[in-house]
Amino acid sequence: MNIDLRHLRCFLAVAEDGGFTAAGRRLHLAQPTLTRNIRTLEAELGVRLFERTTRRTELTEKGGMMRDAVAPLLQQLDSVLTNLREGEKLRIGFSWGLPDGLSRLAARFAEEAGIEVEFVRCDTRLAGLDTGVVDLGLLRCKTLPKGLRGVFLHEEPRIAAVPANWQLAERPHLEWAELADWPLVINTVSGTTFPDMWQDGAQPVVGAECRNFDEWLEKVAAGLGVGTAPVSAARRYLHPGVHLVPLVGAPTVRAHLAHPSQGAHPQAVRFADRAWRAAEHC
């Protein structure tokens, strides 16, 4: 017989709640969908499980037998599935600056899914996906690299980071093009700003290189050059030796949640979808 868990859960909800309306609310199903599942189950079994009138829905004798048999089986199955998730962990890699709300979303997801969600800082090009230490990675890039899939979260403007003792720090704003006149501090591993983003012949020289956001901030503070970063991330990492100046005409920074195209953790795909839906409603 072609019966699956969906049919059995629908049957048990109607049997326990005493009607299709209440069962539909419990299962978050439209009544026509719930009715179709019950009719399919009755057709496969070849028996009537409910007596339905315009006023009430009651179990038949066979329906009562079905309820008494199915209820403990589904309870046991749910217990087994819950126990399987115990100790399961979803690891999310990032190099710097988690987007607003992602931690709260992770906490809700962990509670609903019955697993632990852990954020792991990884100073690698793909935020730990390239070394296999995480299941999901927060990547700031124009497009996802080959071998990765994921969801686009948002894009945001850049802000300039300049040494606090430079005259540039006193400006109300800076033009993207004029940054090419100053040495550029670049994070070669997880940064978002590189000389080739300016036109040929008008590219900044590299004042210093580093491998993570903290080093980048310190080198700017030391006066080795200027840099840019997404507005939200830069404002989280305040430094007394660095002044943030609004940028005009700068390309935006796109943020993605990515996972391997093949063999991704099942919860990684679900969490990425949840994060995408949350971003869509912001």
CA distance 90 to 236: 25
> What is the per-residue pLDDT across 42-63, written as a single tens digit (0 to 9) for each?
999 999 999 987 778 899 999 9
Cite the residue boundaries of each domain of the chain with CATH code 3.40.190.10.
89-154+254-280, 158-250
Beta strand 227-230 pairing with 158-163: antiparallel
Place of tokens 């993207």: 176
Residue 218 above 80 pLDDT? yes
CA distance 97 to 237: 8
**Segment 119-148 mean pLDDT:** 95
Residue 144 above 90 pLDDT? yes
The closest of 171, 159, 180, 155 to 248, measured between CA atoms, is: 159
Phi, psi for 22 (deg, rounded to 5): -65, -40
Beta-sheet strand order (sheet of 242-248):
174-175, 242-248, 158-163, 227-230
**Segment 151-156 mean pLDDT:** 95
203 residue type, one letter: Q
Distances in Å between the alpha carbon of 108 and those of 5, 78, 192, 238, 247?
26, 20, 30, 29, 35
- With cut-offs at 50, 70 and 90, classify the pLDDT of residue 19: confident
Contact 264, 242 (CB under 8 A): no
> What is the per-residue pLDDT across 182-201, written as a single tens digit (0 to 9) for each?
999 999 999 999 999 998 88
Please give the class, per CATH, of domain 158-250: alpha beta
Sign of CA dihedral 173, 177, 183, 186: positive
* Beta bridge mates, 120: 93
Pick the CATH number of 89-154+254-280 from 3.30.360.10, 3.40.190.10, 3.40.50.720, 3.20.20.70: 3.40.190.10
> What is the per-residue pLDDT across 28-46, written as a single tens digit (0 to 9) for each?
899 899 999 999 999 999 9
Helix ranges, 157-240 (H): 213-221, 231-236
What does pTM read for this prediction?
Answer: 0.72
Residue 282 above 70 pLDDT? no
CATH hierarchy code of domain 5-85: 1.10.10.10
Q: Residue 190 has which token pair?
A: 């997880």
What are 37-42's contacts with CB under 8 Å, separation 24+?
37/6, 37/7, 37/10, 37/11, 38/7, 38/10, 38/11, 38/14, 40/7, 41/3, 41/7, 41/8, 41/10, 41/11
